Amino acid sequence: MYKVFVNNTPIILSTKRVIDGYQTIPIKKVVFPEIIRDVLGKEAANEEAKYHFYHKNENKLIDHLYAKLPVVVAGGGKAYNTKDEILFIYRNGKWDLPKGKIEKNEHIETAAIREVEEETGVTGLEITKFLYKTFHVFKRNGEFRLKVTYWFEMKTEYDGVLLPQKEEGITKVKWKNKKKAKKALTNSYANIKKLFSHDYLS
């Protein structure tokens, strides 16, 4: 099962024919821009949209998803320092984790480290493991697009100045301990919360 987020509303993709309470549409028949507009309209009216896209083959499910919207591939990091604090950025009124689009012929792990460095000023990053792949829809130049972000856990001994990348709209960069991270996540995005365990959020 996968979730594609439109703002904070998840659209479920799965190989199940039916999910209780959800409107199931075979993914081949999905007109994604229409679904997105409906989700956004329901969110604006404080209503819940429950869509489920189905295909019996998991690989084809993802292939069809990628064919529905232009795809932007990105890499990001959940970075820890020696105090076990996590690196957050603040942008567009929300706490987020640093991430960004990969460049042509760039390896995804290289892109993830580069983006964390560029957005925060933190150096000496080392990837410790792959975490998760998230999907979310955004709009650019009047066109809906699908961002696929590969997230990596990272560590660093950097204890220098934090430098928000202001040209990317980032106004703050902060190391946060568990208590402060939990608070930040109450003003974050649903796909970012997926990178934290249920125990962490509770």
* Tokens 């697009």 found at: 145
Q: What is the pLDDT of residue 108?
A: 97
Q: What is the pLDDT of residue 7?
A: 87
CB 91 within 8 A of CB 169: yes
CB 112 within 8 A of CB 152: yes
Q: Name the phi and psi angles at 142, rounded to 5.
A: 75, 5
Superfamily of domain 72-201: Nucleoside Triphosphate Pyrophosphohydrolase (3.90.79.10)
CB 167 within 8 A of CB 159: no
- Which residues of the chain form CATH 3.90.79.10? 72-201
Contacts of residue 87, defined as CB under 8 A and 6 or more positions apart, other chains included, come to 77, 78, 79, 80, 81, 97, 98, 116, 120, 122, 173, 174, 175, 176
Instruction: List the Cα angle 89/93/98 in 5-degree steps.
Output: 20
Cα–Cα distance between 76 and 74 in angstroms, integer?
7
Q: What is the pLDDT of residue 194?
A: 87
The one-character DSSP state at 15 is S
Q: What is the pLDDT of residue 114?
A: 98
In the predicted model, residues of the chain with pLDDT beneath 50 are: none
Cα–Cα distance between 109 and 28 in angstroms, integer?
32
> Exposed/middle/buried for 89, CB within 10 Å: 0-12, 13-18, 19+?
buried
